[in-house]
Amino acid sequence: MENGIANILHRGTIAVLAGTHTFDRGQRCFADGRVVEVEGVKGELHGKVRPAEAGRAAYVVRLWIRSEGLAYECTCPIGVERRFCKHTVAIALAHLERERADAERGLDVLREALVTIPAPAMIDGLLVLARRDAVMADALKRMCLDALSRS
């Protein structure tokens, strides 16, 4: 289910739901480090956003999937009306950023493992992938052409 919300949550979707003005404010909110907590559990996203004014309680944000699409709520005055507020944008962006970082870490592990494969076995493996996937085959051909043009 975690993947469910990841499939729906894209920057573009968030921008459309929030509108440009709210999206920009949410982006600033995230960039300022005001997201203090974000957690994705079973198709739901929970998070807390520190208010700009000191002494106030953190805003509590929740995003989840309904059959009609994405649902959301926040404890701020805009969020309680079930409108997409800047805190919801900030939580969604924090989640996307964390997923991107996780994917990147996964690729780092893959890189370390790939280095251990001898070149002939690597070539055989890539050819198997290229046979299965035309896009992959084209990308490999481009890589070869790039390498040739540089040598």
Q: In whole angstroms, how close is the CB of 89 to Zn ion at the nearest point?
A: 9
Q: Which residues of 102-129 are buried (b: 16+ CB within 10 A; e: fewer)?
A: eeeeeeeeeeeeeeeeeeeeeeeeeeee
Residue 41 burial (CB count, 10 A)? 11
Q: How far is the CB of 22 from Zn ion (least distance, A)?
A: 10
Residue numbers of the site for Zn ion (CB under 5 A)? 59, 74, 76, 79, 85, 87
Q: Which is nearer to Zn ion, 81 or 146 (CB)?
A: 81
Pick the closer one to Zn ion by CB: 71 or 128. Answer: 71
In the complex with Zn ion, which residue's Cβ is closer, 30 or 59?
Answer: 59
Interatomic CA distance for residues 81 and 85, integer angstroms: 10
Q: Which two tokens stand for residue 61?
A: 């944000």
Closer of 70 and 76 to Zn ion (Cβ): 76
Least gap, CB of 87 to Zn ion (angstroms): 3
Residue among 61, 59, 64 nearest 41 (CA): 64
Closest distance of CB 99 from Zn ion, Å: 22
